[in-house]
């Protein structure tokens, strides 16, 4: 038996909804294709999932971190299984995995997955806790068997931050779970909708978004705004919109499913992404995949797209003056995503689960 155990102490998988579960189901299927006698098991803090027995993926839910560690120890102690542990982050997940190995009295390969742009100064300055987490990252990387990054630029930035030291790593993107065929959900007409998709938090750049909106509103551009997502700053954003007197131009959708988002993409004229730190940019890639152009702030994850998509559906915006902002907004709405580049993103998306499964197989003893 070959077993991959994913440590999920924050319940990001068990509470992540259908889209997250199905993404990990694809990982499980890809692993089983490579090694038939294998299983992918998630140990998570969260509610017990209904209908989980129908999955190739095994999800074990526990009430708290202590009981999750005990469950992890039982799994890892089973020496009849060739085991690899996957840590979803280089702080809580990694150190809990180390505790599990300690009590299981077994040394097994550990893969750390880094989704945040931890090498970026912008990421460290976004939240005070990130400075402490950065210290933990350096320690974790030294002890990990392998590190999985989600973009090449993300890896380069962290290696530079660590003084140029090379990291034993792989670069594998985060696949987007697409509930239906892309061809039915591609942008088909011009639209004046500027959409913000994702968490409504300061670290996602919503303060800059308000500045861009304010600039648009003093121009002659005719734009309406869709907010797709929720967060702790939703109330603040609505109050700012009300202060500007443009509430009638805003539509707040709240949190939507992947299928619902797929149905919305054809009606969006341009996506705006202003997060100061972005290691991968799932929403940006999904927009481009659906043929929707993007106005984005430069960040590590998006620099991987620059060579091919700059001027071909991707327009970068920084701290320009009002006139430049208006010109960039116009350019973003006017640019077109070539079908060949959208297809390339779709192909990369389809191959990601197999690449991740291959990385796990390479860690087995």
Give the DSSP per-residue string, 159-210: HHHTTT----EEE-------SS-GGGGS--S---EEEEES--SGGGTHHHHH
Q: Residue 257: its pLDDT value, please?
A: 84
Q: For 308-312, which contacts have Cβ atoms below 8 Å and span 24 or more sequence positions?
A: 308/341, 308/344, 309/337, 309/341, 311/335, 312/336, 312/337, 312/338, 312/341
Both tokens of 38, joined, read: 């294998």
- Taking the domains of the chain in order of start, what are their residue ranges? 2-177+348-361, 182-347
CATH 3.40.50.1970 fits 182-347, yes or no: no
User: Scanning the structure block, which residue is given the tokens 């089973």?
Assistant: 78
- Statement: residue 245 has pLDDT above 70: yes
- Pick from 361, 349, 313, 317: nearest CA to 333: 313
Q: What percent of the chain has pLDDT over 90?
A: 58
Phi, psi angles (nearest 5°) of residue 216 = -60, -40
Q: Residue 191: its pLDDT value, please?
A: 87
Both tokens of 47, joined, read: 């509610």
Beta bridge partners of 197: 228
Least confident residue range of 20-34, 157-171, 173-187, 200-214: 173-187
Q: Residue 183: its pLDDT value, please?
A: 57
If you ran DSSP here, which 8-state letter would residue 49 be given? P
Using alpha carbons, list the distances in angstroms from residue 56 to 2, 28, 41, 47, 349.
Answer: 14, 6, 9, 19, 20
Q: pTM for the complete prediction?
A: 0.85
- The pLDDT tens digits for 299-343 are 888 888 888 898 899 999 987 788 899 999 999 999 999 988 888
User: Scanning the structure block, which residue is given the tokens 């998988």?
Assistant: 13
For residue 356, name the pLDDT band (cuts at 50, 70, 90): very high
Whether 174 contacts 282, CB under 8 Å: yes
- Statement: residue 291 has pLDDT above 80: yes
Whether 75 contacts 68, CB under 8 Å: no
Using alpha carbons, list the distances in angstroms from residue 159 to 131, 138, 141, 307, 314.
Answer: 17, 10, 11, 21, 26
Alpha carbons 238 and 203: distance in angstroms, whole number: 17
- Statement: residue 174 has pLDDT above 90: no
Same fold for the domain at 2-177+348-361 and the one at 182-347?
yes
User: Scanning the structure block, which residue is given the tokens 């670069």?
Assistant: 171
User: Scanning the structure block, which residue is given the tokens 């991707």?
Assistant: 314
Both tokens of 65, joined, read: 């971190």
- Statement: residue 243 has pLDDT above 70: yes
- The pLDDT tens digits for 87-117 are 999 999 999 999 999 999 999 999 999 998 8
In degrees, to the nearest 5, what angle opens at C-alpha 197 toward C-alphas 88 and 266?
120
- Statement: residue 33 has pLDDT above 60: yes
CA-only gyration radius of the chain, Å? 21
- The alpha helices in the chain, defined as continuous H runs, are 17-34, 65-77, 92-104, 121-126, 128-143, 152-161, 206-217, 234-244, 258-264, 282-289, 300-309, 322-334, 339-361
Whether 154 contacts 280, CB under 8 Å: yes
Residues 6+ apart with CB under 8 A from 98: 110, 143
Topology at the third CATH level for domain 2-177+348-361: Rossmann fold (3.40.50)
Which phi-psi region, left, alpha or beta, contains residue 187 (left: φ > 0; alpha: ψ -120 to 50)? Answer: beta
Alpha carbons 195 and 285: distance in angstroms, whole number: 14
Residue 317, H or E segment: none
- The pLDDT tens digits for 176-235 are 766 555 655 566 667 899 999 999 988 888 999 999 999 999 998 899 999 999 999 999
Mean pLDDT, the chain, whole residue set = 89
End-to-end CA distance of the chain: 12
For residue 119, name the pLDDT band (cuts at 50, 70, 90): confident
Residue 120, H or E segment: none
Alpha carbons 222 and 234: distance in angstroms, whole number: 24
- Statement: residue 242 has pLDDT above 70: yes
What is the mean pLDDT of the segment spanning 61-80?
Answer: 93
For residue 43, name the pLDDT band (cuts at 50, 70, 90): very high
């Amino acid at each position: 038996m070959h077993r991959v155990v994913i440590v999920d102490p924050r319940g990001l998988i068990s509470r992540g909804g259908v889209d997250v579960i199905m993404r990990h189901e694809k990982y499980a299927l890809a692993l089983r294709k490579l090694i038939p006698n294998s299983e992918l098991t998630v140990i998570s803090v969260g509610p017990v999932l209904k209908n989980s027995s129908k999955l190739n993926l095994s999800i074990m839910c526990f009430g708290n971190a202590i009981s999750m560690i005990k469950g992890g120890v039982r799994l890892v102690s089973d020496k009849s299984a060739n085991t690899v542990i996957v840590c979803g982050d280089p702080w809580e997940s990694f150190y809990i995995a180390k505790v599990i190995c300690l009590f299981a009295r077994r040394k097994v390969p550990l893969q750390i997955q880094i989704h945040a742009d931890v090498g970026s100064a912008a990421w460290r300055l976004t939240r005070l806790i990130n400075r402490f987490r950065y210290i933990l990252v350096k320690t974790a990387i030294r002890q990990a068997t392998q590190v999985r990054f989600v973009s090449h630029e993300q890896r380069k930035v962290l290696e530079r931050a660590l003084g140029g030291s090379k990291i034993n790593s792989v670069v594998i993107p985060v696949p987007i779970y697409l509930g239906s065929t892309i061809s039915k959900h591609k942008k088909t007409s011009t639209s004046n909708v500027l959409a913000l998709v994702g968490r409504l938090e300061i670290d996602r750049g919503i303060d800059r978004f308000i500045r861009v909106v304010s600039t648009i509103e003093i121009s002659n551009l005719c734009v309406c705004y869709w907010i797709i997502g929720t967060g702790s700053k939703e109330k603040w954003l609505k109050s700012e919109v009300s202060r500007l007197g443009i509430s009638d131009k805003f539509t707040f959708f709240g949190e939507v499913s992947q299928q619902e988002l797929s149905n919305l993409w054809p009606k969006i004229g341009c996506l705006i992404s202003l997060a100061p730190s972005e290691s991968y940019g799932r929403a940006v890639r999904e927009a481009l995949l659906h043929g929707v152009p993007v106005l984005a702030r430069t960040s590590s994850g998006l620099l991987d797209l620059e060579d091919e998509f700059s001027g071909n559906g991707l327009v970068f915006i920084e701290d320009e003056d009002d006139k430049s902002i208006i010109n960039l907004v116009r350019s973003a709405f006017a640019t077109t995503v070539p079908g060949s580049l959208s297809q390339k993103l779709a192909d990369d998306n389809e191959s990601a689960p197999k690449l991740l499964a291959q990385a796990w197989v390479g860690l087995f003893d």
